[in-house]
Structure 1
Amino acid sequence: MTEEHLEKVRTDFENSPFWTFIGLELKELKEGYVLLALPIQKEFINVRNSVHGGIYASVMDTAMGMAGRSLGYDEVATIHLNIQYLKSVMEGTVYSEAEVIHQNRSTVLIEGRLMNEDGELIGHCTGTFKLSIGEKG
């Protein structure tokens, strides 16, 4: 993959309103792999006094979408997510790692992992994403 394409992926995601709103930070981006960090904000805490599962899903979905785009595609759309919530977290920073595990002509299967600051797995996800070349019109 070209450095120019990876830079475009980085720029597109970092300039999105959602990225800014939630406070994501890019730690690593290479072809087929992404690592993001998310400092926990008080607004993420649910009635159980832990980070809401929707935050887990959003962060893993974002990392996995970036991993799909890193393969050279202009558009990646989530078709299916399967999420396992393994452990709760209440503070600190979480890290979302995504890696492509299978690709065909029009879709890609990606594995997402969410870890706490101690490196413990707190969420696991697999997702299928539709791939397309060409800018949105």
Structure 2
Amino acid sequence: MTRDHLQKVKADFENSPFWNFIGLELKELEEGHVLLALPIQKEFINVRNSVHGGIYASVLDTAMGMTGRSLGFDEVATLHLDIQYLKSVMDGTVYSEASIIHQNRNTVFIEGRLKNEDGELLGHCTGTFKLSKGERI
């Protein structure tokens, strides 16, 4: 993968309204691997006084989609996510890491892990993503 493509992926995500709204931070970006950080905000807390599962899903989906894009593709669309919620968190920063499990010509199967500051696994996710070069999907 070219450095220019990875810079474009970084810019595309960091300039998206959702990225800025939620407060994501890019820690690592290389071909086939992404690490994101998300400082927990009070607005993420649900009625159980923990981070809402939708935040888990959003951060995992974003890291996994970015990982798909890192392979040299212009467009990546989520086809399926399977999330296991393992442990709740109430404060601090969460880290979402994603890596490739399998890729073919049109799709990629990606694994995502969400951890707390102590490295404890909070959520595990696998997803299938459609890949495209040069065309909107």
Q: TM class, shorter-chain normalised? A: over 0.9
Q: Partner of 2:100: helix, strand, or coil?
A: strand
* Partner Cα distance (2:29, 2:77) in 1: 19
Amino acid at match of 1:79: L
Number of residues of Structure 1 aligned to a counterpart in Structure 2: 137
**How far has the Cα of 1:53 moved from its partner?**
0.1
Which residue in 2 is equivalent to 1:131? 131
CA distance in 1, matches of 2:131, 2:34: 17
Any runs of at least 4 consecutive aligned residues in structure 1 with deviations exceeding 2 A, and if so which? none
* Structure 1: gaps (5+ residues): none
1:32 Cα deviation (Å)? 0.3
Alpha-carbon displacement from aligned partner over 1:53-81 (angstroms, at most 9, x marks no partner): 00000000000000000000000000000
Instruction: Give 1:97's aligned residue.
Output: 97
Q: Which residue of structure 2 aligns with residue 81 of structure 1?
A: 81
1:1-137 to 2 correspondences below 5 Å: 1-136=1-136
| RMSD, matched Cα | 1.0
- What displacement does 1:135 show? 4.9
**Runs of 5+ unmatched residues, structure 2:** none
Q: How far apart are the structure 2 equivalents of 1:20 and 1:89?
A: 21
Measured against aligned partners, the alpha-carbon deviations of 1:73-129 in whole angstroms (never above 9, x if no partner) come to 000000000000000000000000000110001000000000000000000000000
